[in-house]
Amino acid sequence: MKSTVTWAGNLAFDGLSPSGHEIKMDAGQEAGGVNSGPRPTELLLHAVAGCTGIDIVLILKKMRLEPQDFRMEIEGERAEDHPKRFTRLHINYVLEGELPDEKVAKAIKLSKDKYCSVSHSLNADLSVSYSINGKEGQQEI
């Protein structure tokens, strides 16, 4: 998977996803940005919710259950010190329809423990390398 993120001036960046969707990001005014888009950390919360939501809908459909309505309210707590990573997430799953709680809980657990690549990436020991203008860096970072 490959994405392109381009500086749009000041602290704003425009992303183009591999599927062709545009994503604007910016810092808040308190950090020197102009608030022209969501913060990258806000997008990360949305990515976790979207990933687990897709999993849950697919799992419920395999159980022959169909939500009539579904939304997630996600809260993230961050560390006080840099890199201010997320230390805790809480997701309130709000579903409507004929959905037994034990089946929904099973779908949530399967998403959390097995399927949601976004939440699993938050805990990953990532190998990160870099290049500058196409020239490989001298060390792994």
Q: List pLDDT tens digits, range 42-75.
A: 999 999 999 999 999 999 999 999 999 999 999 9
Question: Can you tell me the mean pLDDT for 11-34?
Answer: 96
Q: What's the token pair of residue 79?
A: 């560390």
pTM: 0.87
Q: What's the token pair of residue 114?
A: 């097995």
* pLDDT for 122: 87
Question: Is the separation of the CB atoms in 49 and 39 below 8 Å?
Answer: no
Q: List pLDDT tens digits, range 89-114.
A: 999 999 999 999 999 999 999 999 99
Residue 134 gets the label, from left (phi > 0), alpha (psi -120 to 50) or beta, of left
Res. 141: pLDDT tops 60: no
